[in-house]
Amino acid sequence: MQQGFDSQQLAEPVAHLIEEFGRLPGIGPKTAARLTFFLLRNNDDQAQRLSQALLGLKDNIRFCARCYNITTEDVCVYCKNSNRDPRVICVVEEPLDLIALERTGKYHGLYHVLHGRIAPLEGMNREDIYFDALIDRVRVEGTEEVIIATNPNLEGDATAYHLQRALVPLGVRVSQLGRGLPTGGDLEWADPSTLGLAIDGRREL
C-alpha cells in the first residue's frame, strides 16, 4: 500500500485502485488518492469510459512490424506514407519522442523506435530493446543515413555509442541530433523550435 494510507482504513476496492494508480510513473500517493476519489465521486460513465479506454489500449494497439511505433494496424502511418524518404531512419527511444520530432515539421524520413535504452544498472541491454532489429533493417532496406535521436543523458549517450559502433561497419552514414538540446532532458519535453534546430544541426558520428 502507498505510504500515508492504511489499507485497513479504506474499503478494499478503493485501496486497490489507489495502489494501482501509484504504480504509474509520476503518480505519487496523494495524486493516486485524488484520482481514485475523483472517480468515486463522479458518475458511473466516467469510470466506465476509463475502463473501456484501458481495455481498448491493450486490445487494439500493437507495434509496427517495420519500425515498432505504436499502431492499430500491422504497419504504422509513417511507414505506409510513400512521401517519406525511405533512405533515412531516425532512431528514438519511445513513441512520444517520435511525436515530438514530428511536431517540428523538419523531418521527413522514417523512424525506428527502440522502446528503451541501454541502461545496465536498470537491467536494460541491447537484447531488451529493438536494437538488433534496427541493424537487420538497415542491412535489408539499403538505408543511407541513420539519425540517432536518443535522449541527451548518460543512458541515451551510451545507447548512441553502441548504435554507432554497430552501424558504421554497414557503410551507412550515422549522425546525431545537434546539441541545442539540454543535457539530461527528454525529447518529448523539448519545444518544436529547439528540436527542429537539433535536426538541422545534426552532426556525423
* DSSP codes, 127-187: GGTTHHHHHHHHHHHT--EEEE---SSHHHHHHHHHHHHHHGGGT-EEEE--TTSPTT--G
* Domain span holding position 140: 65-204
Tens digits of residue pLDDT in 4-53 = 555 557 788 888 889 888 888 889 989 999 988 888 888 778 888 888 88
Q: Is residue 165 part of a domain?
A: yes
> Tell me, what's the pLDDT at 1?
45
Rounded distance between C-alpha atoms, residue 27 and residue 32, angstroms? 6
pLDDT at 63 over 90: yes
Q: What is the CATH number of the domain that holds 114?
A: 3.40.1360.10
The better pLDDT of the pair 147, 176 is held by 147
User: How many folded domains does the chain comprise?
Assistant: 2
For 204, list phi and psi in degrees, rounded to 5: -75, 140
Same domain, 75 and 51: no
The better pLDDT of the pair 62, 189 is held by 62
Cβ atoms of residues 84 and 112 within 8 Å: no
Span 155-181, average pLDDT: 89
Same domain, 51 and 72: no
Question: Residue for cell digits 536518443?
Answer: 150
Lookup: cell for 20 = 494501482
Same domain, 191 and 109: yes
Same domain, 105 and 21: no
Same domain, 54 and 70: no
Same domain, 79 and 120: yes
For the entire predicted model, the pTM comes to 0.73
Q: Is residue 139 part of a domain?
A: yes
Tens digits of residue pLDDT in 152-162 = 888 999 999 99
